[in-house]
Amino acid sequence: MSSNTARTVYQETVRRKGVPIRLDAIRVEDKAFVISGRFIKTAALKNEWQEDIDNPNRVIRELKDSPGKIDLLRFWQRIPESEPKYSYYHEWRDVAAIAISDYKHWFEKQISPKARNKVRKSAKFGVAIEQTELTDELVRGIMDIFNQSPVRRGKRFWHYGKDFETVEKEMSLDLNESIFVTAYYKGELIGFVKLLFADRYALLTVILDRLNHRDKAPMNGMIAKAVEICAARKVPYLGYYMWRRAGHREFQESTGFERISIPEYFVPLTLKGTIALRLGLHRGEKGLIPEKVMGWLLMFRARWYAAKYSRRPAE
């Protein structure tokens, strides 16, 4: 590819908290790099969960010569590559994934007894869990799940209140590489999963249930079905994005997800980028907040939203 490709800045659409936004972007090695940040401009792969940087040195050269005035390049190694391959400055990023050999091994060896009982409980209740095509009926069911509450996990739920067209459009993204796993009880959708297949793993991009049917354990049943599908397709890993905090982390642990630390690289491309990295500004404002303080802030936010929506059902 000619270096002139990286000299062209164009616009890419990405989603931040469920909202589509337009960002400057540059193509290098036929891959899109989006540029974010107001003061410190950072380039990163748009599809970082699905693609790798094969030649970092070449990408660095191209980005330095680009008109985007990029200060930092951020990229990371995807599972299962957990050992650093490059000498650039890196920090550790914790992702959640299940190593899959076969369904029986996962069910008998990798999950907790409590999660195992919940999978059985879901089946005992008669919850029908299966792979499903995206239809108008499914979109309407997803809308009902989205609109249960404006608050989930102690924060504003960004899917709340979206109309049919918006939900259909969002659920149709990456449809050629994705499937849906649904949980129905007596004809009602009580949970769904959108599963995206990449080159080396499958990724749970959305997993939600109906709050008033949690006694039937649809989440555990859907995870079990996702593992079964991955095992049948010889997919070696099932990913669940980042390793979570508190109750969400407990769910990950109980259903067989493990914390896998992988290197995330930050490469300065300008003097400003070098200074930002040395001052710890490469992760933005949130990166400056100590983990303990972040926990307090999240707890305060959860209580604030609970009080604000006290007249509505909240998770």
Give the model confidence (pLDDT) of 244-303 as tens digits. Answer: 766 678 999 999 999 999 999 999 999 999 999 999 988 776 666 666 665 665 565 556
Tell whether omega for the bond before 113 is within 30 degrees of 0, i.e. cis. no
Res 158: pLDDT: 81
Distance CA 218, CA 211 (A): 10
Res 242: pLDDT: 84
Res 1: pLDDT: 44
pLDDT at 173 over 60: yes
Res 150: pLDDT: 83
Res 227: pLDDT: 98
Summarize pLDDT for 22-62 with one digit per residue, the tens: 999 999 999 999 999 988 999 999 999 999 999 999 999 99
Res 2: pLDDT: 44
pLDDT at 312 over 60: no
pLDDT at 304 over 90: no
Res 282: pLDDT: 84
Distance CA 76, CA 90 (A): 9
**3-state DSSP call for residue 279?**
coil
Distance CA 192, CA 138 (A): 9
Distance CA 194, CA 187 (A): 19
pLDDT at 314 over 60: no
What kind and span of H or E run contains 14? Answer: strand 10-16
User: Which band of pLDDT confidence, cut at 50, 70 and 90, is reported for residue 159?
Assistant: confident
pLDDT at 110 over 60: yes
Sign for the pseudo-dihedral over CA of 108, 112, 113, 114: negative
Res 286: pLDDT: 66
pLDDT at 14 over 70: yes
Dihedral angle computed from the Cα positions of residues 226, 227, 233 and 236, in that order, rounded to the nearest 10 degrees: 130
User: Which band of pLDDT confidence, cut at 50, 70 and 90, is reported for residue 116?
Assistant: very high
**3-state DSSP call for residue 18?**
coil
Tokens 């649904």 sit on residue: 182
Distance CA 159, CA 177 (A): 22
Res 315: pLDDT: 44
Is-contact 10 25, C-beta < 8 A? yes
Q: What percent of the chain has pLDDT over 90?
A: 72
